[in-house]
Amino acid sequence: MPGAAEKGTELSERIESFMEALKRGGGQHSSEDMAQETVGLLHQIVAHGRWSNAGELMELIRKEGRQMTAAQPLETTVGNMVRRVLKIISEEYGRLHGPNDESDQQESLHKLLTDGGLNEDFSLHYAQLQAIKNIAMQALEHIHSNEVIMTIGYSRTVEAFLKVAAQKWKFHVIVAECAPFCQGHKMLISRQENKQGQFLKSRNPLTRISSCSKLLITYF
């Protein structure tokens, strides 16, 4: 089937390109960009990869995930997204077939992809993983006046979250700079330019964490 072969080649080339970008320095890109690209690739693997049951799909995801994380071990976002996708697949299979189903290896591709099955469910989660705006809009429920908040490195999700909170509250933010890539510097510059909260750089975040009321960490 030429169409499937072409898509497989295109996917392989895209994965190779992503791995090369990671090797050149994943820290040069935001965590959000890394997460978006990782999830996008995994989405394509689900749609176009060679698998016939949930076990084969999870093994395929693990294989590609190991290669991507090995390309840049310091970039934890990639591994986090791979684990998240594996969890989605496992949960969806359990929902469709129940925890005591022992016919995993015999389940057909058709059964897994019909009646609102795996592919549809993954697409739903894929959209949710991209919903930065929805996450940011919840900021006022979690951040309050005069709080001391710590975050690590740079993330557009955290940046948007703090931006919404700053519309109502005054608060302090300690940013761990995240050597060797020092993404925290980008967060400091961005937020100080917009005068949103008081941002302080920290090279030793563990010494400051006891004074913080919240720690903001994101997949992307």
Counting the structural domains of the chain, the total is 2
Specify the pLDDT at position 96. Answer: 74
Residue 153 structural domain:
134-216
27 DSSP assignment: G
CATH code: domain of residue 98: 1.20.120
Per-residue pLDDT of 140-158, as tens digits, reads 888 989 899 888 877 788 8
Q: 139 and 199 share a domain?
A: yes
184 Cβ contact partners less than 8 Å away, ≥ 6 residues apart: 152, 153, 154, 175, 176, 177, 178, 201
Q: 25 and 111 share a domain?
A: yes
Q: 35 and 91 share a domain?
A: yes
- Decide: residue 134, CB within 10 A, 0-12 exposed, 13-18 middle, 19+ buried: exposed
Specify the pLDDT at position 74. Answer: 76
Q: Is the pTM of this model over 0.85?
A: no
Q: 187 and 112 share a domain?
A: no
Q: 157 and 68 share a domain?
A: no
Is a pLDDT exceeding 80 seen at residue 212?
yes
